[in-house]
Structure 1
């Protein structure tokens, strides 16, 4: 692992980019992504027969840690690499794997996620997007929001309802569909942040045709698939390292005497170390083929809380900087994306209740 870590650091020193807060979410740089892919650092856990590097989740963790610590612009490939590739490997047909995995590993295929909706948010069982059977496939109609990067991505993985919801079994009748974002009937509208940036989008689907061969997994099994997928989305180091470049800057300024020493700095670093240990544990579980939904929810809840606390701490010191300005503008979204803290606390509480 040390050699791998050293190689990534050397690569980062050779690249010209400005370290940024939240760069995994907003730092879209396709040339940078392709350069990473050329070194085998995109699609690392994709098997070699599908164009990947065939490496472990812990090796991928090492690479992503270094990229996040540097604030590198990795948003273009992040969703496809983090959760679409594992989902394809777990549930995709051979044709789907051949169609998407090699392109993901080359850093040439980008995905968005179509889970959240205007009236349901983090309550995925409340999905209203419907999929109606038609000759050779399905017609999808509905609206997805907070679809990061959809205006630049090639495809979106959409959770839709194939049967009317049963009030007693809302988790039934769901399926996942791979939708080409250039398909007729798809409209992508920007959701501009208060900083004037466009990362999020609203994606409207009006009778969008999706062929049978673009259904991911089994129809009716969408809930199990999507909750398993969330283990990848919620557990990675990006859930507690979005503001690490800001913390690193604050530490450097404190050492120089430009900022006052404060005990909260040590507390935040200790929390960061604990979360790293928990997140690596989830990566080990994923490598072993085990589900880690609740542990992933813990990483997300505790990690995004820490990210916000780092922003508040730095602001309290009067430490003005471009990194702090960006962090303040994006802080509100930390505890929302990937599932609100309220929803995730419910997930954790229910699991703890079942274990008693």
Structure 2
């Protein structure tokens, strides 16, 4: 881990610092023009396609993709800087987030040449948003127990089944679906394959799932014997499990796993500067800032591992476990220490951010794998039985 930090620091001294200044200037301009209000969990709930397109115009989507597919050939460390600043500002990045974070690398690594040229340029341009169809009803975190099935009809596939908790499916142009193509449910990881399914589709029903705050960024997606072309298969038939595990390293390692509630921490720090802080509040603020910085260093190390071409699955699981716990702890610590009543309305920016953190925090340790699942990954990776 230390080697990764040292390697990434060598890059950060020059180009990364300039890039960070550019992103901050862009975000300051967006805020001044009133294009968005900072929010907690903005990478899940803050969907603004026009904002995503403006980010793409700056060359900040598809950053690590090859230029031949519309990308910019930049490093994971440069992409880390951009995503870190977007999250810290609470910017509305949900429209492009999943496509840029993990679907682009998956299509780049596993897709056919036709698939790469069809989907990657749109992701980089902020005009192609892609959802993930993994979770299913009654499966919990047991992804290997999925029941969605894809039947090979020769020149096409027929998919039947249901996916759930599918983020931003209603705004997406395509969906990468994990389905069983061979064997039975008891075969677990064997016989699973992935497909890129274009949306909308006449035989695919997308139903919104309303969260406790009334918003609907999750969906239930039902495949009513939906037929898709044979060339929708992503990667190798039967290799779906291995491909998904590769994608999860990107999903679990990013700064969104500890920065979802940082806009609230920044707003509270501003409140304390204006009104004065008690010794207890200063202590709480310092403890939260220290934990955030430690997690940032861990996540930066994972980005360094990715930049070096390695697969930091165990490190990514550690970041996700510790980071998602921190996000919830931050909300509770600020709520207890500030004495502020969380309110969604009324014009108090800090109270609104606190309300967003409170309402979204139950999902922090569930999405992307529960903490229990992640600890199992870490234990196995460390050889602990």
TM-score range, shorter chain: over 0.9
Distance in 2, Cα, partners of 1:212 & 1:39? 36
**Which of the numbers 310, 321, 334 marks the counterpart of 2:364?**
334
Question: Structure 1: 5+ residue runs without aligned partners?
Answer: none
Distance in 2, Cα, partners of 1:335 & 1:343? 10
Counterpart of 1:43 in structure 2 is 62
Root-mean-square deviation (CA, aligned residues, Å) is 1.3
How big is the shift at 1:119? 1.5
Counterpart of 1:8 in structure 2 is 23
Question: Structure 2: 5+ residue runs without aligned partners?
Answer: 1-15, 342-350
How big is the shift at 1:258? 4.5
**Which of the numbers 184, 190, 206 marks the counterpart of 2:208?**
190
1:66-145 aligned at under 5 Å gives the runs 66-145=85-164
Alignment deviations for residues 232-275 of structure 1 (CA, whole Å, 9 cap, x no partner): 01110001000000001112222334453432322221111111
Counterpart of 2:331 in structure 1 is 311
Counterpart of 1:324 in structure 2 is 354
1:334-353 aligned at under 5 Å gives the runs 334-353=364-383
CA, structure 1 residues 166+20, in 2 after alignment: closer, same or farther (shift >3 Å)? closer
CA contact (8 A) 1:37 1:106 kept: yes
1:46-65 aligned at under 5 Å gives the runs 46-65=65-84
How big is the shift at 1:346? 1.5
CA contact (8 A) 1:177 1:210 kept: no
Alignment deviations for residues 146-202 of structure 1 (CA, whole Å, 9 cap, x no partner): 1000011111100111112364x5111000000112122100011001111001000
Q: Judging by fraction of residues, say which structure has more helix.
A: 2
Distance in 2, Cα, partners of 1:146 & 1:265? 33
Counterpart of 2:273 in structure 1 is 255
1:170-181 aligned at under 5 Å gives the runs 170-181=188-199
Counterpart of 1:163 in structure 2 is 182
Distance in 1, Cα, partners of 2:279 & 2:133? 44
Counterpart of 1:208 in structure 2 is 226
CA contact (8 A) 1:178 1:210 kept: no
1:289-308 aligned at under 5 Å gives the runs 289-308=309-328
Alignment deviations for residues 114-157 of structure 1 (CA, whole Å, 9 cap, x no partner): 00011212211111111111131211111111100001111110
How many residues of Structure 1 are paired with residues of Structure 2 in the alignment?
A: 354
Of residues 341-350 and 70-79 in structure 1, the stretch that sits farther from structure 2 once superposed is 341-350
TM-score, normalised with respect to structure 1: 0.96
Distance in 2, Cα, partners of 1:175 & 1:135? 16
Counterpart of 1:21 in structure 2 is 40
**Which of the numbers 265, 288, 291 marks the counterpart of 2:285?**
265
Distance in 1, Cα, partners of 2:118 & 2:19? 29
Distance in 2, Cα, partners of 1:260 & 1:149? 42
Provide the secondary structure at the position in 2 that maps to 1:183: coil
